[in-house]
Each structure stands twice: as C-alpha cells, then as structure tokens.
Structure 1
Amino acid sequence: MSQDDVLQEALIELQSRLSFQEDTINELNLIVARQDRQLQALAKQLGGLASKFDDAMFDREQGGSAADERPPHY
C-alpha cells in the first residue's frame, strides 16, 4: 500500500467522521430547540399555577367569601 493510498484512506475516514458529527450536531440542535419550547411552556404553566395558588391563599385568608375577592388589578 503506497503512501498516497494511506492518505486517501485517512481522508475518507476523516470525511466520514465529519459527516457523522454534523448529523449528530443537527440532531442535538433539534432536541435542544424542542426542549427550549417545552421549558417555555412549562414556565408559562407554572406562572399560571402560581397565580391561582396566590388567589386561593388570599381567599383562604379572607374566609373564602365571594364578596372579599381580590380585585383583578391586585
């Protein structure tokens, strides 16, 4: 096997590895983007639950009467 053949095989191996790594990076990028969307949705849900919890605690502290509801701007 000549030195040119060895270099050719090494080049092909490097190109194969690069292609595989590019595919892996693209796949990981898609996963990270999906997880970011999920985190944003979960943060929005958590904010809504925290607001409902605060309202429930206020109602509990006030005795739960509908007349004592917290104003919307509170």
Structure 2
Amino acid sequence: MDSLSQRVNDKDCKNIVNTVIKVFNAQNSKQGRKVPNWKVLEGTPRQPTNVECDYYVMRFNRHIATNPSL
C-alpha cells in the first residue's frame, strides 16, 4: 500500500479498511461484498526516498487505468 514502507502495516491498514466498509454497509443498509478482495502485487518498485510519492501514485494510477486485466 505504501511504496516507501516495508509493508509492515499492511495488516493494520487492511483491518481498518475492512472495518470501515462493514460500518458503512451497516449504516446504509448495503448488502455489498462484506470485505474487499486483497491482492498482493509482486514486483512493485520501491521509491528510493520520500520525495517521489506523487510520481509513484500517478504511475500506478495510469497502469491500473490502462490495464484491463486489473
């Protein structure tokens, strides 16, 4: 989830997102998917310092938007 970190907090982030989705669905009487399908994207590059974040976000947004298999 973070191109700078070593992904030590991914489990915590997933728990937070899953909880928010459950609360949202309960408050809005939604019957959608109970939890998201999480995928590990192997081979994603790490940013070398803390100043390239915007570049990495935009690069992966473009990749996701132009890749129909995602």
Q: Using CA pairs under 8 Å that are at least 6 residues apart, name the structure with larger relative contact order, 1 or 2.
A: 2
Regarding TM over 0.5, the answer is no
- Name the TM-score, length of structure 1 as normaliser: 0.31
Indicate the structure with greater helix content.
1
